[in-house]
Homo-oligomer: A and B are copies of this chain.
Amino acid sequence: MDLSQYFPIWEKLTAAQRGALRGAATLRSAARGTVLHNGSADCVGLFVVRAGQLRAFILSDEGKEITIYRLFERDICLFSASCILSDIQFDVTIEVEKDAEFWVIPADTYRQLMEASAPVANYTNQIMAARFSEVMWLIEQVMWKSFDKRLAAFLLDESALEQSDTLRITHERVAAHMGTAREVVTRMLRYFQSEGLVRLSRGGITLADADRLRALQAG
């Protein structure tokens, strides 16, 4: 599998642009825990994830972290090349969360591509819009943080009731219990799953880390 299979708008590039991208991109691999990009200190380039999982987070002066999003196979990491976009004025750290293999597209190569090609520029826009949406979702959760706590409380209560870590319950039913929409429940459960708090399966929710759910509930 080569880069062309992983770069979504490959067919909109000219032959010369494809050649430039193939020539400049390098395939790298990195083990869990590796920090790939550290704030504005470096401008490594874009990462195109071939396998594994990356985590993007911000860091407070006191060393506290907030995960802002995760990157999976086929995802493209823009903020490891934030020097391309001069208006990006925040620092994101990118860390390997599961052993990963990814292409690195040098920042200069991508910048040139973006300046010349409307499809590439618009695609870059799409990536940023998707990340922006994730961050807005996070800010809403944080500001009006009742729902994550309430959901954690609900899962713990149900688990105690059923005397089981695995709940046979649909997202629809959880939503009905909590007086909200199914989409809201599904989204929060997926977030819980990405945080390792639960494991989702067809028709079931398994509490993977009851201690952290309790901490969240108490939060």
Contacts and interface: CB of A to CB of B under 8 A. Distances in A.
A194 interface: no
B126 A125 contact: no
B140 A142 contact: no
Number of copies: 2
Interface stretch (A14-22, A95-103, A116-124, A163-171): A116-124
Contacts of A133: 87-90
B132 A125 contact: no
Interface string A46-73: 0000000000001011101010000000
B132 A128 contact: yes
Contacts of A60: 140, 143-144
Output the residue of A58, A64, A66, A85 with the most chain B CB within 10 A. A85
Given A90-B136, A136-B90, A138-B139, A64 B144 contact: yes
B86 A126 contact: yes
Nearest to A137: B90
Interface of A: 58, 60-62, 64, 66, 85-90, 114-118, 120-122, 124-133, 135-140, 142-144
